[in-house]
């Protein structure tokens, strides 16, 4: 993974509970316009790059796709992406410190130090665990 950041990686998560996941709560809050679906979120825990005086970390930026009432939002998304007409809107949602813990049932963030790239197959073995 090429990056100029000191650390880079991936994250994986599972919804808190079926029917009470973050996307459902976001739609119920009125922050997602009708016909739009949440396709991505960015969770910011802390940042020195935020110039805004109104938005303080932690917060979530949700990326919204206008499925325009399409019966299959995923197919509409793929079609828009394939044609180069993917237009995403964003909405920022401020979170309290403990709200972050309620977003997902499971959340794993896997970070590697710049230059020390490991593939998924190279996880430390049980015998190599230091503590």
In DSSP notation, 77-112 reads HHHHHHHT---EEEEEEE--TTHHHHSEEEEEEEEE
**What's the average model confidence in pLDDT over 41-48?**
84
Residue 66 lies in a domain: yes
* Number of domains composing the chain: 1
pLDDT of 89 reads 94
Pick from 45, 37, 34, 35: which is nearest to 96 by CA? 45
Quote the pLDDT of residue 120. Answer: 58
Q: Which domain holds residue 53?
A: 7-116
- At 68, list the tokens: 């325009």
Q: With respect to residue 131, please indicate whether it lies within any of the assigned structural domains.
A: no
For the chain, what is the radius of gyration of the CA atoms?
18
Structure confidence by residue, pLDDT tens digits, 9-39: 888 888 877 777 778 878 888 888 888 999 9
Q: What's this model's pTM, rounded to 2 decimal places?
A: 0.75
Q: Confirm whether 129 is domain-assigned.
A: no
Report if residue 124 sits inside a domain.
no
Residue 40 lies in a domain: yes
pLDDT in tens, 67-80: 988 999 999 999 99
- % of the chain beyond a pLDDT of 90: 22
Q: List the end-to-end C-alpha distance of the chain, in Å, as a whole number.
A: 27
Share of the chain above pLDDT 70, in %: 85
């Amino acid at each position: 993974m090429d990056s100029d950041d000191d650390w880079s990686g991936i994250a994986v998560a599972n919804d808190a509970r079926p029917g009470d996941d973050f996307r459902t709560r976001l739609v119920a809050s009125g922050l997602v316009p009708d016909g739009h679906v949440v396709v991505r979120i960015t969770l910011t825990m802390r940042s020195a790059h935020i110039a805004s005086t109104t938005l303080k970390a932690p917060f979530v930026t949700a990326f919204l796709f206008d499925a325009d009432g399409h019966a299959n939002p995923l197919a509409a998304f793929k079609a828009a992406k394939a044609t180069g007409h993917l237009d995403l809107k964003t909405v920022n949602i401020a979170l309290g410190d403990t709200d972050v813990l309620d977003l997902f049932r499971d959340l794993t963030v896997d970070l590697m130090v710049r230059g020390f790239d490991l593939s998924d197959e190279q996880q430390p073995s049980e015998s190599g665990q230091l503590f």
